[in-house]
Amino acid sequence: MTDTVENTQRTMIPGMGEEGEKLTVAQNPAARAGGRERNAAGSRADRLSSFELSDFPVLTGREEDWRFTPLKRLGGLHLPEGDDARLTGAAPAVTVAEQAGVTVETVARDDARVGSVLTPDDRVSAAAWNSVSEATVVTISGEVAEPVRIDVVGSSADPAAMHLTVLVEENAQADVVIAHRGTAVLAQNVEFDVRRDARLNVVALQAWEGDAVHVSAQQASVATNAHFKHVAVSYGGGVVRLTPTARFAAERGEAEMYGLYFADAGQHLENRLFVDHNQPDCVSNVLYKGALQGTDARTVWVGDVLIRKEAEGTDTYEKNQNLLLSDGARADSVPNLEIETGEIVGAGHASATGRFDDEQLFYLQARGIPEDEARRLVVRGFFADIVNKIGVAEVVEPLMEAIDEELAATAELVESAGAEA
């Protein structure tokens, strides 16, 4: 039997040496906070993270991380009144269905498990951290047969904060659904501690009422041989901004990050993800897809993937696609890939935004399929690979119903435009 040499699988990127690409980071002596060096436009590796609110200056909207976000619509979650302010509204109610292998606790913020994975890296996340006195900790042990449903139901428009920690013990396996419903103005921190040989499949569902504002930092630590899958599904709320992050605590971890979003007129749905390859021989795959319709429908996707010098053997790919279903909608898509070592298996990214394919629609109609049904089939096909990644049946059916409702609204827009013409 012939032995396989492991390092033959690694690829040296053309134009790069073992030290990787030489990235130039612009230093701004004035851009400091709390004595920490800040880098406004350089390497993602230099991004500030801190539990101190005062380390993050009051936002102006000119910051790179916030230039797409409508600050005036955040409901004060960024504490524009200063560093002494806090988010004091009633947080949404959190309920977790009881089942074997799942333990739920409400603990003080100084519990060792709280903040062990997540460190705020923007002002809203820091505001949430400094505004809570306790957190919900969900611990998963063994192989949990049924999906763990965490319902977050809001009923107040007062700016509020909450913290959720999900800890998956060694060799444990579970599907977790975090379902956000009702109305809220919420700054939220969520952390996932995925330990050695564990598997966690998370679906973060944003099905808020139309007036809700939701800004959520969701950070994961992925240990040796652990598998973390995060699927962000957003179609509710007025303003929803998610910042999912995956970091590797040891070698041979795997992270999959998927997203599906559907924006209507006036909605702002934003996803800013970060995959930090800081350990060798880890794998990540990112795929987000969005559809937009109506005047001032707005989506933002920013995908940052960093391959650090020590992360040899990395294999990563990220992709974003957007489908514009009507005039007046706008999708911003920014993939960023930063490489500090040439000793990797592979790395790539892609982004595409296009209008609804009228030729495909005509093809289906020519075969006797009504226009509204043809449009539904095209959009369902566009989202199919993301839907198939969800892996939780109780989420898929209502999601497809929601997409069909959105498409019914699209048909009304098309008919209205045709009548006016």
**22 vs 189 pLDDT, higher one:** 189
E strand or H helix that includes residue 379: helix 371-390
Nearest Cα to Cα of residue 181 among 395, 28, 414, 391: 395
Burial of 16 (0-12, 13-18, 19+ CB in 10 A): middle
* pLDDT the model gives residue 37: 34
Q: Which helix (H) or strand (E) holds 409?
A: helix 393-420
Q: Which residue has the higher pLDDT, 37 or 65?
A: 65
Q: Is the pLDDT score of 367 beyond 80?
A: yes
Residue ranges covered by each domain of the chain? 9-357
Give strand pairing partners of 220: 192, 246
Predicted confidence band at 94 (pLDDT cuts at 50, 70, 90)?
very high
User: Per-residue pLDDT averaged across 334-341, rounded?
Assistant: 94
Q: How confident is the model at residue 60 (pLDDT cuts 50, 70, 90)?
A: very high
pLDDT tens digits for range 18-57: 333 333 333 333 332 333 333 444 678 888 999 999 999 9
CA dist 102 and 168 (Å) reads 10
Question: Is the pLDDT higher at 80 or at 419?
Answer: 80
Q: So what's the pLDDT on residue 6?
A: 34
Q: What is the mean pLDDT of residues 75-97?
A: 97
Judged by average pLDDT, the poorest of 135-139, 208-212, 224-228, 355-359 is 355-359
- Specify whether the CB–CB gap between 321 and 352 falls below 8 A: yes
395 has a pLDDT exceeding 60: yes
Is residue 13 over pLDDT 60? Answer: no
Paired residues of 199 in beta bridges: 173, 227
- Specify the pLDDT at position 414: 56
Measured CA distances, 418 to 324, 374, 411, 414 (Å):
18, 18, 11, 6
Is residue 261 pLDDT above 80, yes or no?
Answer: yes
The count of residues in the chain is 421
Q: What is the pLDDT of residue 38?
A: 39
Rounded to an integer, the average pLDDT of 380-396 is: 91
> Within 10 A of 212 (CB to CB), how many other CB atoms are there?
24
Question: What is the model's pLDDT at position 103?
Answer: 97
Percent of the chain's residues with pLDDT above 90: 74
Of 111, 154, 157, 116, nearest to 135 (Cα)?
A: 111
Are 235 and 207 within 8 A, CB to CB?
A: yes
Query: pTM of the prediction?
Result: 0.88
pLDDT level of residue 375 (50, 70, 90 thresholds) = confident
Mean pLDDT of the chain: 88
Phi/psi at 7 (nearest 5 deg)? -75, -5
Do 298 and 269 meet the contact criterion of CB atoms below 8 Å apart?
A: yes
- Alpha-carbon distance of 331 to 83, in angstroms, equals 33
Query: What is the per-residue pLDDT for 418?
Result: 56
Q: Which of 110-114, 385-389, 416-420 has the highest mean pLDDT?
A: 110-114
Sign of CA dihedral 353, 320, 266, 149: positive
C-beta neighbour count of 113 within 10 angstroms: 15
**What local confidence, expressed as pLDDT, does residue 3 receive?**
35
Q: Which of 33-42, 280-289, 335-344 is predicted with the least confidence, judged by mean pLDDT?
A: 33-42
